[in-house]
Structure 1
Amino acid sequence: MMVGGLANSITMISLSSSCVSYVPCKLGIDLKPVFGIRRGLVRVNPRSEIVSDRNDDVQQSSVLKTASVSALEALKVSAGDRYTKERSSVMVIGLSFHTAPVDIREKLSIPEAQLPQAISELCALNHIEEAAVLSTCNRMEIYVVALSQHRGVKEVTEWMSKVSGVSVSEISQHQFLLHNKDATKHLFEVSAGLDSLVLGEGQILAQVKHVVKISQGVPGFDRKIGGLFKHAITVGKRVRTETKISSGSVSVSSAAVELAQMKIPESSYDSVKVLVVGAGKMGKLVIKHLVAKGCTKMVVVNRTEEKVSAVREECKNVEIIYQPFSNLMSCASEADVIFTCTASETPLFLQEQVSTFPLLTSQNGNQTQRMFVDISVPRNVESSVSDLEATSVYNVDDLKEVVEANKEDRLRKAAEAQLIISEEVQEFEAWKDSLETVPTLKKLRAYAERIRSSEFEKCMAKMGDLTKKQKAAIYGLSTGIANKLLEGPMLHLRCDENEGRSLDEIVENMHALNRIFGLETEMSILEEKIRSKMEKAKN
């Protein structure tokens, strides 16, 4: 039950025992069988020692009133207690090539230009405070700081459904969910290339860096999520430096080139006409790997010639022919192997278009298939193109047979990488825990201020007429005493390397102060944030 809807929900408490089952036993009230109305009889807990006579209307009315008030107070305490003790959680909610096929992932994919808007929309949800989106060809993962785990997951999943058109039930079938330390570990593994289709691939680290670059300064990409992604970049670099996991491994682009080579006649690029569609990061890598595999001539279709010229400068002694997008279909109709790697949100090749392409024949006169290797998400080649007899289509999910090569060596390096990741997870979690002292600092100062203010007002009432100077002196005395008393506790809650306190000690001090001053029973900062968000949503 939402705290913000407390006033509107009290009528339910009188009629349904399920509504009060959330109340903890420590309140001294067992509410399981308490409030139910049946034929005029009010059933109450024996501890309350309330006896109702169905013929005594006055007594029954009094009991109902008392019961309702008790239920309201119990629910208020329960709800406040739950929100106060429920720390905000770092979560990742997503789908990857491990859990979802490409036809689902492409629907959920978020274009780079829309990432800031996605962060803003996610942070506008009632229980989401911070957010970041990692959307690549192999994954679509949303990292959030949630004020409530259960409600946060529900809101994010519904948002994913809204922006993608995929039903909540279908998303849930392919979705994975990790909290706190597990979410941290997952992102570190992703950044290190341990969760990639190609173990140790380097491109994912660049994509994590890009998330930080695009999200920097966007409201909602704040301290915890921003800190998590920046630390993930450090982990990715450290793993690659200390384990050399990327050396000898293949990227998605090189795996695509190798896959095509396995499928073409004589396994050679010497006798086939190659077309590369797109000259961005992925396209550039495809071109370089084609050159490494012995391809000496290819056509590259791109929106502008600038990027193609830059690649041409790097690949000497290779004929790279630029063609504009307006010539895409004519170039494709003449090609044997077509690599597609653009950021287009809609397919570039439809079945009705490809079906008009001339049939291909080998040097000995036999008919051969035209091959599409589509490593884009969303896909650049319509799935029904594979139904054509003279065409074969491969996408990112078909690269697994290639990446099995040299897997044993990369697994050994991955084991080494896990040791590094464990160290880094501990370090990040300790830093994140240190941030939890901030609410305690605020609550402790507010607690002291309430006492100071109250005692100051009592003093003023007893002192009678005073001059402004005298009042200011007494006020200064009260604030001075409060500040001096707070100085020690505040000092022991702050992270200061010069003081020599460990993060574990600081967190322990935080819990001790919460217990000593009863701060956990105050209106929590989390609840205040939720209330504020819900009010904004109404306006």
Structure 2
Amino acid sequence: MSVLTIGISHRTAPVAMLERVAVSGETLVKLLYDVQQDACVAEAMVVSTCNRVEIYAAVDRFHAAVTSISRLLSVHTGVTVDELRPHLYVHYEDRAVEHLFSLVCGLDSMVVGEGQILGQVRRALKLAQKQGTVGATLNELMQQALRVGKRAHTDTGIDTASASLVTAGLALAGDLAGRRALVVGAGSMSSLAAVTLARAGVTDIVVANRTLERGVRLAEAVGGRAVEFAAVPEELAAAELVITCTGGGQHVITPDMLKSVMSGRQAFLLDLALPHDIDSAVREVPGVTLVDLETIQESGIGSRDGDTIESVRTLVAEELAAFLSAERAAKVTPTVVALRSKAAGVVEAELGRLLMRMPHLDGKAKDEVAQTVQRVVDKLLHEPTVRVKQLATSPGGDHYAEALRELFDLDPKMPEAVREVEL
């Protein structure tokens, strides 16, 4: 099986298109299940965030899988394939692995170096595991990717500035200390927002969430207070900073809510959700500044360059080379096992015939003969099997395994049977 990635992100599509293809909840689960059930696909996982949707799949046919997965993405988002096609990117085999490693390190994020993507990929993997749509191929790849991402964030300075969409958005708000804030939502992004506000000196933080208990836990963690979700219009009257990230699919803040409470004052609104939480028409309300994902993308405030980025790219290249080398070596192992199994069968058969012709041999002599024959076979096979494992780590190394199968007339089904037993 080969790894295929099909995705759409802030790098290839405007936020308006990303808003249309955003999947979550039951829609995401149904997409995940339908992709895995496709005849071309053995395993599937979906990474869906506020600025990307990526489908990772273990496939046996490239073109057929691309067609099928693109169609399923269209079906579950309501966006036609013709509309999707100009914005989709496709990565296959080595390129798919490279893209994933770069992704978890934060190199492909709207805010370069942000660490949230690591948790988002981890949650996507857990969901796929829970739904039973991933197996050995994607499990192994994703676990390695998470290790690479963690290493990037601990061994390099990629996140020394605590880069995130939250910090990028709030950088446009000016001085935060002493201002009153309303955080709408209590998920991971909202939690990061609340913590960021508290660290910046915001002493009055209100959390509004559909599930009050979760809102209470978040508010207590930052020394704020929690309110019912229905209290959002009332809380807007005093809020100077408003951060939303519910992604519920409906606007939670509208122009009408603000018109009656904005007389003679200023408010900064940060919408980090897709679909958007805040109606963009609030920009027409005097005193309101709205920053959303489009604003952050256009500002370029999250972009980075220099030695830190290069160090992460070097890390990705090293980890990619090591992963691909180990993967190629693993592919030849079943063939080596099959060869040794066939050799063992030949030894056993020949010893059986020998002992039938020489029944007078005692036990000690029989053991000596058997050990001698086995040593001869082991020595003859040692060099070619070691060498083929070494050669297999290079690009195109699987051809050496094919040559081994051909030279020793191995049953083509046997290496695959060995692989299945190992899994």
Relative to the length of structure 2, the TM-score reads: 0.77
- How far the C-alpha of 1:146 sits from its partner, in A, is 1.9
- Of 396, 402, 413, which aligns to 1:511? 402
- Cα distance in 2 for partners of 1:89, 1:303 equals 42
The answer for the alignment partner of 1:332 in structure 2 is 236
**Cα shift at 1:141:** 0.7
Distance 1:143 1:116 in 2: 14
Contact 1:115-1:214 within 8 A present in 2 as well: no
Unaligned runs of 5+ in 2: 347-376, 417-423
Q: How far does the alpha carbon of each residue in 1:354-392 deviate from its partner, in whole angstroms, 9 at most, with x for none? A: 46x3152447xxxx5x44311012221234444556644
2:292 matches 1:395: yes
Which of these residues, 276, 281, 285, is aligned with residue 183 of structure 2?
A: 276
- Partners in 2 of 1:348 and 1:491 — Cα distance? 69
Give the 3-state SS of the residue equivalent to 1:327 in structure 2: helix
Structure 1 match to 2:249: 345
Percent sequence identity is 27
Q: Give yes or no for contact 1:199–1:249 (8 Å, CA) kept in 2.
A: no
> How far apart in 2 are the matches of 1:385 and 1:302?
21
Number of equivalent positions: 385
Q: Which amino acid aligns with 2:260?
A: P
1:153–1:439 distance in 2 versus 1, CA, 3 Å: farther
Please list, as runs of the form range in 1=range in 2, the aligned pairs for 1:398-413 lying within 5 A after superposition.
398-400=295-297, 404=301, 407-408=304-305, 411-413=306-308
The answer as to whether partners of 1:299 and 1:322 remain within 8 angstroms in 2 is yes
CA distance in 2, matches of 1:152, 1:204: 26
Specify the alignment match of 1:300 in structure 2.
Answer: 207
2:38 is the alignment partner of 1:125: yes
1:95 partnered with 2:8: yes
RMSD of aligned Cα (Å): 3.9
Deviation at 1:185, TM superposition (A): 0.8
C-alpha displacement of 1:234: 0.6
Q: Distance in 1 between matches of 2:320 and 2:276?
A: 35
**8 Å contact kept, 2:215–2:227:** no
The structure-2 alpha-carbon separation of the partners of 1:96 and 1:488, relative to structure 1 and needing over 3 Å to count, comes to farther
Letter of the structure 2 residue corresponding to residue 516 of structure 1:
L
Equivalence for 2:316: 421
2-structure distance, mates of 1:362, 1:493: 83
CA distance, structure 1, for counterparts of residue 303 and residue 54 of structure 2: 28
Normalization by structure 1: what TM-score?
A: 0.62
Deviation at 1:111, TM superposition (A): 1.5
CA positional deviation for 1:413: 0.9
Contact 1:257-1:286 within 8 A present in 2 as well: no
Describe the shift of the 1:487–1:328 C-alpha distance in structure 2 as closer, same or farther (beyond 3 A).
Answer: farther
Alignment-derived partner of residue 262 in structure 2: 360
Amino acid at match of 2:393: D
Measure the CA separation in 1 of the matches of 2:249 and 2:235: 21
Residue matched to 1:186: 99
CA–CA distance in structure 2, aligned partners of residues 441 and 123 of structure 1: 31
The reply on whether 1:176 has 2:176 as its aligned counterpart is no
Equivalent pair of 1:193/1:202 in contact (CA under 8 Å): yes
Task: Report the AA paired with residue 310 of structure 1.
Answer: R
- The 3 A distance-change label for structure 1 pair 242 and 269 is closer
CA contact (8 A) 2:50 2:272 kept: yes
**In the alignment, is the contact (CA less than 8 A) between 2:111 and 2:302 conserved in 1?**
no
**Structure number, greater radius of gyration:** 1
Partner of 1:57: none
CA contact (8 A) 1:258 1:402 kept: no
Partner of 1:432 in structure 2?
327
Where do 5+ consecutive residues of structure 1 fail to align?
1-87, 453-485, 526-539
CA–CA distance in 2 between the matches of 1:228 and 1:155?
22
Name the structure 2 match of 1:51. none
Q: 1:382 to 1:437 in 2, by over 3 A?
A: farther
Change (3 A) 1:217 1:314: closer
